[in-house]
Amino acid sequence: MSAISAGQAVVLGVVEGLTEFLPVSSTGHLKITEGLLGIPVDDTAVVGFTAVIQAGAILAVLVYFFRDIRRFALAWGRGLRHADARRDPDYSFTWWVILATIPVVIVGLAAKSLIKGPLGSLWVVAGSLLVGSAYMWAADRFGRHKRGEDDITLPDAMIVGSSQILALLFPGFSRSGATISTALFRDLDRVAATRLSFFLSIPALTGAGLYELKDAASGAVSLPALAIGTIVSFGVAYASIAWLLRFVAGHTFGAFVAYRVVVGLLLFGLLATGALNA
C-alpha cells in the first residue's frame, strides 16, 4: 500500500507548487501539511516523495525561463570552446551559479543525518519561520534596492548561493526567502534578487530530487502518486512564478513576512497543545 494516496499527492503537489518559490518555506509547509494529513514526516519514502515532486516546480522554472537558460547554456558552451567568448557576461554568470551551488551540496551531504533527524522537527520549522521572517523584514527594510541583474558579481552569487544552507539546515527558513533576503542585503533590487533566487534553485533542487529518488521509488510511495504530485506541482509552480515576478516589481515583502509570522505562531500553538505531533 502506498504511503501517500492519490488525493494526498494532489494536496502536497499544490502546496509544493505554491510555496517552492514564494518566500514562505515549501519544506515547512509540506511538513505541516503532512502532519495534518497524518503522513509520517520522518518516513524516508515520504521525504523522498517531497523531494521528487520538486521536479515539477523545477520544470516550471525551466519552461518559464527557457529563453534565459538557453542563452546562458549557449554562452557557456561557446566559452568552454573559445577563449574570446569567455568575456560574455552570460558565460561568467553560468559559472557563478554552478560555483554558488557547491557549498549547499557539501553541507547537505555532510549533515544528512541531522537534516533528516532532529532538524526535521516541526518545532524547528516553527522557530525557523519566525527567525526567517525577521531576516526577510530586515533585508527588505535596510537593503538599498539599487542594483539590477546586470550588476550581479561573483561574490553576490557565492554569498546568496551559500545562504541556501540556512534553509537546508532549518526547514521553515525558506530557500527562496533566504536567497532573496540575502540578495536584498547585497543591495540588489527586488526583481533582480528574485530572478537570481530562481536561477540558483535549478541546480540545487534538481540535485536534491535526483538524490532522493531512490527513497521515493522504494515502493512505499506508488509511481502514480509520484506522477500526480509532480504534475500538479508543475502547474501551480508555473503560475506562482509568473505572479511573484509581477508582485515584487511593485510591492515589498511585508505581506510574506506577516504571513510567515502568523503561520509560525499558529504552528507553535498547535504543537504546544498537542493538536499536532512534532
**Burial of 145 by CB count in 10 Å (0-12 exposed, 13-18 middle, 19+ buried)?**
middle
pLDDT at res. 218: 60
Question: What CA–CA distances, in Å, run from 20 to 3, 79, 82, 113?
Answer: 22, 32, 37, 23
Instruction: Say how many domains are in the chain.
Output: 1
Q: What is the CB-side half-sphere exposure of residue 100 using CA atoms within 13 A?
A: 28
Residue 46 lies in a domain: yes
- CA 21, 23, 24, 25 torsion-angle sign: positive
pLDDT at res. 216: 59
Residue 231 lies in a domain: yes
Residue 54 lies in a domain: yes
Spatial separation of the C-alpha atoms in residues 83 and 31, rounded to whole Å:
47
Residue 1 lies in a domain: no
pLDDT at res. 93: 96
Residue 278 lies in a domain: no
Residue 95 lies in a domain: yes
Closest CA to 139 of 155, 119, 163: 163
Question: What CA–CA distances, in Å, run from 94 to 11, 62, 69, 79, 198?
Answer: 35, 14, 9, 10, 13
Residue 10 lies in a domain: yes
Spatial separation of the C-alpha atoms in residues 112 and 45, rounded to whole Å:
15
**Model pTM score:** 0.90
pLDDT at res. 206: 82
Grid coordinates standing for 149? 541583474
Question: What CA–CA distances, in Å, run from 218 to 41, 44, 211, 265, 276?
Answer: 16, 9, 13, 36, 27
Residue 277 lies in a domain: no
pLDDT at res. 276: 81
**Burial of 90 by CB count in 10 Å (0-12 exposed, 13-18 middle, 19+ buried)?**
middle
pLDDT at res. 63: 96
Q: Using the 8-state DSSP alphabet, how is residue 218 labeled?
A: T
Residue with cell string 500553538? 269
Spatial separation of the C-alpha atoms in residues 175 and 166, rounded to whole Å:
7
pLDDT tens track, the chain, 278 positions: 567 888 999 999 999 999 999 999 988 898 889 888 888 776 777 777 887 888 899 899 999 999 999 999 999 999 999 999 999 999 999 999 999 999 999 998 888 888 777 887 889 999 999 999 999 999 999 999 999 999 999 999 999 999 999 998 998 999 999 999 999 999 999 999 999 999 999 998 888 777 766 665 565 678 888 899 999 999 999 999 999 999 999 999 999 999 999 999 999 998 999 888 77
Count the Cβ atoms, other than its own, within 10 Å of residue 112.
Answer: 11
- Is the CB of residue 224 less than 8 Å from the CB of residue 46? no
Identity of the amino acid at 238? Y
- CA 83, 85, 88, 94 torsion-angle sign: negative
Coil, strand or helix at 263:
helix
pLDDT at res. 39: 84
pLDDT at res. 55: 84
Structural domain containing residue 158: 6-272
Spatial separation of the C-alpha atoms in residues 256 and 223, rounded to whole Å:
34
